[in-house]
Amino acid sequence: MSDKLPYEELEKTLVPNMDDKALQNSLSLLETLIDTIPNPVFYKDKQGVYQGCNEAFANQIIGVTKEKIIGCSLFDLTDAIPSDLAEIYHQKDLELIENPGTQFYEATVQCADGFKRNFFLTKPHTPMPRVLSLE
């Protein structure tokens, strides 16, 4: 007999005592909180695919809706991110994955208004919790 938990039991251990409505409410609150941060915020998975961002990042930096960013990599957003800058960001992401911790650096960013600006980036490397689909 296997020591592995069936999926339903594993799901209960990941989100104990939280029904779908409560989980949806918590996720909605978290999204609202992130959107109220005036600084651009985003997060990606280890493959470099955007998993989320706030309105400031979507509007001021990329210039498209959050829904058009999520599920894309740097190299999928060529209208907003020049390839030379995408390559720099990608290399920094790889460095962070190889050396977990918090990364601080200054980088040029092409903003949605077409101007390039220097930003100080703070990128923590923390394990992402698994998000359960509510579909």
Residue 6 forms part of a structural domain: no
Its domain, for residue 99, covers: 39-124
Residue 52 forms part of a structural domain: yes
Residue 120 forms part of a structural domain: yes
Residue 14 forms part of a structural domain: no
Residue 110 forms part of a structural domain: yes
Read off the DSSP letter of residue 41.
-
Q: How confident is the model at residue 36 (pLDDT cuts 50, 70, 90)?
A: very high
| Number of domains comprising the chain | 1
Integer CA distances (angstroms), 23 to 46, 51, 55, in order: 24, 18, 22
pTM exceeds 0.85, yes or no: no
Residue 88 forms part of a structural domain: yes
pLDDT digits (tens, 9 = 90+) for 49-94: 999 999 999 999 999 999 999 999 999 999 999 999 999 999 999 9
Residue 1 forms part of a structural domain: no
Assign residue 102 the CATH number of its domain.
3.30.450.20
